[in-house]
Structure formats: structure tokens, C-alpha cells
Amino acid sequence: MEYFIQQLVNGLTLGSIYGLIAIGYTMVYGIIGMINFAHGDIFMLGGFAALIVYLLLTTFFVGIPAALALLLMLIVAMLVTALWNWRIERVAYRPLRGSFRLAPLITAIGMSIVLSNFIQVTQGPRNKPIPQLVSSVYEVFGISISLKQIIIVLVTAVLLTVFWYIVNKTALGRAQRATEQDRKMAALLGIDVDRTISITFVMGAALAAVAGTMYLMYYGVAVFTDGFVPGVKAFTAAVLGGIGSLPGAVLGGILIGLIESIWSAYFSIDYKDVATFSILAIVLIFKPSGILGRPEVEKV
């Protein structure tokens, strides 16, 4: 039983990271109906930004408190990654808006290749291990919960609340939802559609950067190929939860995290990704709109 709850805690942590990335996928998909294949690599980029900031801090400010270091890593990673995604949207996706549906998908795949190879070229292909930033572990009823896990879950919860508030309660969120429903009409009603979409990419990238920083802190290692597998899993999470839905993305992420950790614990660790993908396929075949998604009505 304790072992099981331990796995739940691990799964929840991992799932929170997936959920944070999935929000970026789901927001972009919601607003312009495009699978942003480069988003996984944006996450990787965020991790690297955090890594370099960490190295800067530990080189020039020896003995800096971990909390402050983590905060600075988060802020800089969010800013830099958001800047990247803002430019990427402008260069690679905006010129193709309203044209051929597959064209932005291909540029997104191209951007994904560019980003991972850019990091490989500039930062080198090797694994980048960093020492533990936060190492406290608490024992609660025989279950060990690390401070890292608490931070990750808390940050996810706070960010989800903030973003849920932005999307549902602010003028910006209203503009986003209007653009999502009908881009032309939104533009006619005076919404700056280009700006709204840019902001969506910026927000998605900032969350991915948070996820990247958390991933770096949790596993203590970064490598340029990191974007693909978490990226695909996060997209799986977004689809599983119902693409276009913010709570769905986090729910999907947590589900994927739980499936992964429980499958690894009780069955075979080798086949954990097979289990994830199989469950995705099964869910989609029986409930194509995901868990919290609106069913797609076929208009005749």
C-alpha cells in the first residue's frame, strides 16, 4: 500500500511536468488548430536556459541560496524561452496562417529539428549533469516525499490557477477564446488577432520553460534530445485530456504520469511508453474528443 502511494506521488510529480507542457500544446491547438511540434523542443530550450543560468549563478555568486537560484533560473528561462517562441511564431507560423493546413505542421517539425540541432551545435551533444539543487526529503506515514516533488506540484497548481484565471476572467482570455471560436469575426470586433496568438505562444513557452526548469531540477540532467519524448507524452496528455481544455491538459498529464510510474512499478519498465501510447490509442478510439474535450459534432 505504501509502495503504491509512493508510486502515486512519483506519478503526480511527473504528471505535473507533463501537464505544464501540455498546456502549451492545448492552448496553441485551441487557438490556431495546429499541432505545435516544436513545443517539446521549446521545453528543452527552457531547461537549457535554466541550466546556463544555474552555471552563471554558481560561477559568479558562489553560495547563493537555492531558493533564490531557482527563482532566478525560472524567471530567466521563462523570459528567454518566451522570446524564442514569440519569434518562431512570427517567422515560421504566422506567414502560413490561413493557408494550407499541413504547411504550419511541417514548419513546426522543421523548427523542432532546428531547435534540437541548434542546442546540439552550440551546447554540445553530451549529457549535462548538475548537482542536486534541493535535496530535503520528508517521511510522511512511511512515504518519502522530496521537497522537489512538493515544489513541482505546488508550482503546477499555482500556475494552472493563474492561467485558468487569465483565460476565463480577463479581457486577454476573452480575446483568446473569441479568436479560438471564429478568428475572422474576432478581428471584425476589434480584437488584435495576431497579438492574441503571439501572446498565446508566449504564455505556452513560459509554461514550457517552467516545466523545463522543474525537469532539470528533478532529474538533475539536461541533454539536447530531451524535447522529443516528454514533448510527445505531453501532447498525448493534451489529447487524452481533451485538446483545447486547460484542466484537461493537466488532468491528462497527471494520468500519463500515473500510468507511467505505476506501470513501471508493477509491470515492466521497458514497456512503460508502450503502455502510455496504447492507452492513448484506446482512449481516442472510444472517446475521440478526450476526457474533458467537447465532442466534435459532424455537421452535415
Binding site for other proteins (CB under 8 A): 29, 33, 35, 37, 45, 48-49, 51-53, 55-56, 59, 76, 79-80, 83-84, 87, 91-92, 95-96, 99-103, 105-107, 109-114, 117-124, 126, 128-130, 228, 232, 235-236, 239, 243, 268, 270-271, 273-274, 277-278, 280-281, 284-285, 288, 296, 298, 300
Helix 272-286 vs helix 246-266: crossing angle, to nearest 10: 140
- Structure-block grid coordinates of residue 64: 547563493
Q: Cα 170 to chain center, whole Å?
A: 22
Q: Which lies closer to other proteins via its Cβ, residue 145 or residue 280?
A: 280
User: Judged by CB, which is closer to other proteins: 101, or 184?
Assistant: 101
SS3 132: coil
Residue 9 or 80 with smaller CB distance to other proteins: 80
Q: In the complex, what is the shortest distance from the CB of residue 107 to other proteins, in angstroms, rounded to a whole number? A: 5
CB 100, min distance to other proteins, A: 5
How far apart are CB 211 and other proteins at their closest, in Å? 18
Pairing status of strand 221-222 against strand 137-140: unpaired
Cα distances (Å, whole numbers) of residue 228 to 56, 75, 108, 161: 27, 24, 13, 27
Instruction: In angstroms, give the least distance from the CB of 99 to other proteins.
Output: 4
Q: How far apart are CA 214 and CA 150, in angstroms?
A: 11
Nearer residue to other proteins within complex by CB, 125 or 142: 125
Of residues 89 and 149, the one with the C-beta less far from other proteins = 89
- Minimum CB separation of residue 259 from other proteins in Å reads 13
> Which one, of 236, 261, 162, 245, lies nearest residue 203 by Cα?
162
What gap in Å lies between CA 58 and CA 74, rounded to an integer? 15
